[in-house]
Amino acid sequence: MSQSLERGLTVLTALAAGQQTLDQLAKRLGVHKSTAMRLLRTLEAGRFVRREDVHHYRLGSALFDLAHQALEDLDVRGVARQYLVALGEISGHTVHLATLEDNQVVYIDKVDSQHPVRMYSRIGRRAPVHCTAVGKVLVAYWPTQQRRRFAEQLNYPKLTTNTIDSAERFLAELDRVRAQGYAVDRGEHENFIHCVGAPIRNHRGEVVAALSLSVPKVLLDFDGLLGLVDDLRRAAGGVSAELGWQPENPRAKEV
């Protein structure tokens, strides 16, 4: 690494902790103030550093622009893959990653169950929103009016005796999802399978994907499935953190 680049990175690292004076930065670099000043002027010209006043410096807007672009460019499937594999190893059951497209759920990644009894699903398969755990999670955190508009335009095909069949029931279910932080599918999509889903958020707090565990009822009862919710939510939280989400982010809350 060149000396100038190393010094520039040292300055940026120091400023990440808060504003610094020229004297403080020169001491951190182990150089004369005139050398530190030349470096700061170069960084300031590129908006990597900004001068707060005559004596103090802070990080500049270019760094935040780069960080934002880097977060925007993250591929949720690529980021999530290691968490899907780990969750599959911990639980032993089928793990899905899903997104929303054209008012339907689309499965974009999958880790198969370790058990001989497996469910039929594949990457690229579509499923309804109203009767899947991932579908409920993907829309539950929208603003109230957006949720209601969406709910009112769905058709609600009744696939099993447990399938939600009206906008009002669907909206009430979304309220439960928001309150508990995860969604369930109790044989609503396929009567022999139940499922739990959790949200994955990006750096703005938006739910951009959903992670789920799906289990045939013959392998695990519903209470046993709920016992895996903490593992599921930890995995979803890990993906969200990789995407830049921080739980205290106020933008993660409903508008």
Predicted confidence at residue 255, as pLDDT, reads: 39
Give the pLDDT score at 67.
64
The H or E element spanning position 173 is helix 167-180
Q: What is the pLDDT of residue 242?
A: 92
**Cα separation of 202 and 92, whole Å?**
27
Q: Tell me if residue 166 falls in helix, strand or coil.
A: coil
| Tokens found for residue 44 | 């300031």
Answer yes or no: are the C-beta atoms of 140 and 178 closer than 8 Å: yes
Question: How far apart, in whole angstroms, are the C-alpha atoms of residue 58 and residue 11?
Answer: 10
Q: Letter for the amino acid at 77?
A: R
One-letter amino acid at 176 equals R
Are 61 and 45 contacting, i.e. CB atoms less than 8 angstroms apart? no
Long-range contacts of 17-26 (CB under 8 A, 24+ apart): 18/58, 19/52, 19/56, 19/57, 19/58, 20/56, 20/57, 21/55, 21/56, 21/57, 22/55, 22/57, 25/57
In 37-158 the beta strands, taken as DSSP E runs, fall at: 49-51, 56-59, 94-101, 104-111, 126-127
List, as one string, the DSSP characters of 190-246: STTEEEEEEEEE-TTS-EEEEEEEEEETTT--HHHHHTTHHHHHHHHHHHHHHTT--
The Cα angle at residue 134 between residues 130 and 139, in degrees rounded to 5 = 65
Question: Residue 182 — φ and ψ, nearest 5°?
Answer: -155, 165
pLDDT attached to residue 57: 87
Angle between the 167-180 and 133-140 helix axes, to the nearest 10 degrees?
Answer: 80
Low-confidence stretches of the chain (pLDDT < 70) are: 1, 64-74, 116-121, 248-255
pLDDT of residue 11: 80
pTM over 0.75: no
pLDDT digits (tens, 9 = 90+) for 185-212: 999 999 999 999 999 999 889 999 999 9
Which helix or strand (DSSP H or E) is residue 183 part of? strand 183-186
How far, CA to CA in Å, does 26 sit from each of 29, 38, 57, 100?
Answer: 5, 11, 12, 51
Nearest to 165 by CA among 197, 128, 200, 198: 128
**Cα distances (angstroms) measured from residue 17 to each of 12, 59, 109, 174, 249:** 9, 10, 38, 40, 20
Gap between the Cα atoms of 95 and 211, Å rounded = 7
